[in-house]
Amino acid sequence: MISIIGLVSLIGMLVVSVVLHELAHGWVAFRMGDSTAQQLGRLTLNPIAHIDWLGSIVLPALCALLGSPVWIAWAKPVPVNSRNLKNPENDMMWIAIAGPLTNITLAVVVGILFRIFLNTGSIVSGEIAYQLMIQFVFLNLGLAVFNLIPIPPLDGSKILMPFLSGRSRYWFSVIAPYGIGIILCISFTGVLSRLVTGIIMPIGQGLLYGI
């Protein structure tokens, strides 16, 4: 079972990661002509504007305390009015990409710092900073991979949409209302955990320790 200090640290890293993820969505939407997020006060680093107390705090804490292999968490989605965009479908794709790309960037930056600190002896195995940096890298890689899954309402579904046509687009719209249920099903069956872990483990190991 995770310690209280470990739990607080993980929740803190999760809040930082999801806040920057959502802020990236809002900032790109703003740059593309939609000021909805700005008008609603979502273009801010203030976590209170972004976190959902149930999805960002309570559920992750319960998952950690219960030792669940799968964490269920979410932040408040950044509102985007596609009618304000010049090319709604393509612009929504770039807005969606911004979130996972932010998490990947965070993982890469901290991974590089980790390598520098490790090679210079600034941190050693077992130190708190050592553990926190590893957790931060894998957390952000996990958020990126999870959000890139092409199931509505995840970012991956919006990224995939411009490339669909005809019957495939129709069936995609049919499953959209059941997206949350599908995600929960594959989460609790362990499929999602194995999928995400199988992708992020080799990437994270390579990023932190080299190929």
Q: How far is CA 47 from the centre of its chain?
A: 15
pLDDT per residue as tens digits for the range 80-135: 999 999 999 899 999 999 999 999 999 999 999 999 999 999 888 888 899 999 99
CA 57, 63, 68: angle at the middle one, nearest 5?
Answer: 160
**What are the backbone angles phi and psi of residue 75, rounded to the nearest 5°?**
-115, 175
- The pLDDT confidence band at residue 171, using thresholds 50, 70 and 90, is confident
**Per-domain boundaries in the chain:** 4-209
Rounded Cα distance between 148 and 144, Å, is 6
The predicted pLDDT at position 109 comes to 97
Rounded Cα distance between 205 and 11, Å, is 22
Flag whether pLDDT at 155 surpasses 80.
yes
Say which residue the tokens 């932010």 belong to. 102
| Most confident by average pLDDT, 26-30, 40-44, 119-123, 188-192 | 26-30
Rounded Cα distance between 211 and 208, Å, is 9
Q: Which long-range contacts (CB under 8 A, 24 or more apart) does 199-208 make?
A: 199/145, 200/138, 200/141, 200/142, 200/145, 203/141, 204/107, 204/111, 204/134, 204/137, 204/138, 204/141, 207/107, 207/108, 207/111, 207/137, 207/141, 208/111, 208/114, 208/115, 208/134, 208/137
Active-site amino acid positions: 22
Q: How far is CA 5 from the centre of its chain?
A: 23
